Amino acid sequence: MVRVLKATPEAVAEGARLLREGRLVAFPTETVYGLGADAFNPLAVARIFEVKNRPEFDPIIVHIADPAQLPDLVREIPETARRLIEKFWPGPLTLILPKTEKVPDIVTAGLPTVAVRMPAHPVALALIRAAGRPVAAPSANPFGYLSPTTAEHVLAQLDGKVDLILDGGPCPVGVESTVLDLTADVPTVLRPGGLAVEDIEAVVGPVRVAAGPADRPRSPGQLARHYSPRTPLVLFSDRAYPDPRGRRAGLLLFRRPARIPEGFAAVEWLSETGDLREAAADLFAALHRLDRAKLDIIFAERVPEVGLGRAIMDRLRKAAAPAVDGPGPLNG
């Protein structure tokens, strides 16, 4: 059974130690409980997806304890962001901004933007501060369940799957943060939440509220601008390598091959041993690398569709789908 500790300073220090070791710690915020991992540790973040049992990757909010941590995470802080931060942080407002290279691709599910917030909860702030790094955390519920607002909810839903639950009592706000995209032409609310849209508008003027399901998909994984390689990508099954002849072809393998296959301009493997968590942690970064290698085509090996393998295959299938406005696959 997972340890549930009342969030004393000692327990928070223990949680911070676990985070630094790449383990998962559930912790209270003012909105809902989060399932935290070191935001700069791709393997730890991959484990979040494993524990949440999501069939797809979803970008994760990065939590900070001080706006001074922002330059590590975002490339620029526009004036609107400064005003909103001044007024509403710490609090239930998540800002989407262009990410730095330092933010692992798995945190943002390959997007060039990152979601950041500074939570208004003493335990969350103490934990992030003690960890000495930003903490990536989705709500601490398995896929398809309600967000937890007490430590008991987390225990009931994730028992045995997290390394520690810090009990800070019920969450005062009780709904997730408002997610505001500041990279669009007009600030756009992607998810209404704990901070009212009217309060945001009082500071930055009119904002757009993404409306219908097409406008605000359940997961930004479905957004058209969601990262997909520009290079045509074709899936293949293990054992039979595709034929690279006549093309500048890239090969994306699940595990390290016994011998590097010949004829490919680039060969990458997602894991040394065929470990799905390791594969998930490197997936987006590997796709980015291959996409920059000026290839005609990428052949990507299917992975087993169990555990994180489902999310990996979901992403690979989306990457393989013919682009609507991009170049089509060269070989049909």
* Binding footprint of ligand TXA on the chain (CB under 6 A): 29, 31-32, 34, 58-61, 92, 94, 96, 108, 111, 113-115, 119, 137-139, 176-177, 179, 190-191, 219-220
CA angle 69, 109, 236 (to 5 degrees): 150
Shortest separation between residue 61's beta carbon and ligand TXA, angstroms:
5
Q: Give me the least distance between CB of 256 and Mg ion, in Å please.
A: 35
> Is 119 or 134 the residue whose CB approaches ligand TXA more closely?
119
Q: 287 — alpha (psi -120 to 50), left (phi > 0) or beta?
A: alpha
* Number of helical H runs and strand E runs in the chain: 9, 15
Query: CB of 139: closest distance to Mg ion in angstroms?
Result: 3
Which of ligand TXA, Mg ion, none is residue 61 near (CB under 5 to 8 Å by kind)?
Answer: ligand TXA
Residues 6+ apart with CB under 8 A from 34: 26, 27, 28, 63, 119, 124, 135, 137, 138, 139, 140
* Pairing label, strands 3-6, 164-167: parallel
Beta strands 3-6 and 297-301 are: unpaired
Nearer to ligand TXA, 113 or 271 (CB): 113
Q: Find which of ligand TXA, Mg ion, none residue 31 binds, CB within 5 to 8 Å per kind.
A: ligand TXA
CA distance 121 to 219: 26
Of the pair 113, 139, the CB lying nearest Mg ion is at: 139
Which residue type does 216 have? R
Smallest separation (angstroms) from ligand TXA to the CB of 112: 8
Question: Is residue 228 a contact residue for Mg ion (CB under 5 A)?
Answer: no
CB neighbours of residue 320 within 10 Å? 17
Q: 3-class DSSP state for residue 304?
A: coil
Contact 297, 328 (CB under 8 A): no
User: Judged by CB, which is closer to Mg ion: 139, or 177?
Assistant: 139
Continuous H helices in 211-251: none
Number of Cβ within 10 Å of residue 210's Cβ equals 17
Q: Which does 60 bind (CB under 5 to 8 A by kind): Mg ion, ligand TXA, none?
A: ligand TXA
188 contact, one of Mg ion, ligand TXA, none, CB 5-8 Å limit per kind = none
CB of 176 to Mg ion, least distance (A): 6
- 311: which 2 tokens? 């999310």
Q: Which residue is nearest to Mg ion (CB)?
A: 139
Give the one entry of Mg ion, ligand TXA, none that residue 28 binds, where binding means its C-beta sits below a cut-off of 5 to 8 angstroms depending on kind: none
Nearest CB to ligand TXA, comparing residues 162 and 300:
162
d(CA 143, CA 69): 29
> What phi and psi, each to the nearest 5 degrees, are found at residue 124?
-60, -45
Residue in 163, 103, 175, 105 with CA at minimum distance from that of residue 139: 175
Q: Map residues 132-171 to x or -, x wherever contact with Mg ion holds by CB under 5 A.
A: -------x--------------------------------
Shortest Å, Cβ 78 to ligand TXA: 15
30 touches, from ligand TXA, Mg ion, none (C-beta below 5 to 8 Å by class)? none
Nearer to ligand TXA, 248 or 318 (CB): 318
Nearer to ligand TXA, 38 or 301 (CB): 38
SS3 of 43, please? helix
Task: For residue 90, give every residue at least 6 positions away whose Cβ sits within 8 Å of its Cβ, in sequence order, or none.
Answer: 30, 118, 119, 120, 121, 125
Q: Which does 231 bind (CB under 5 to 8 A by kind): Mg ion, ligand TXA, none?
A: none
Task: Confirm if 222 and 315 have CB atoms less than 8 A apart.
Answer: no
| Closer by beta carbon to ligand TXA, 183 or else 261 | 183
Interface ranges with Mg ion (CB under 5 A):
139
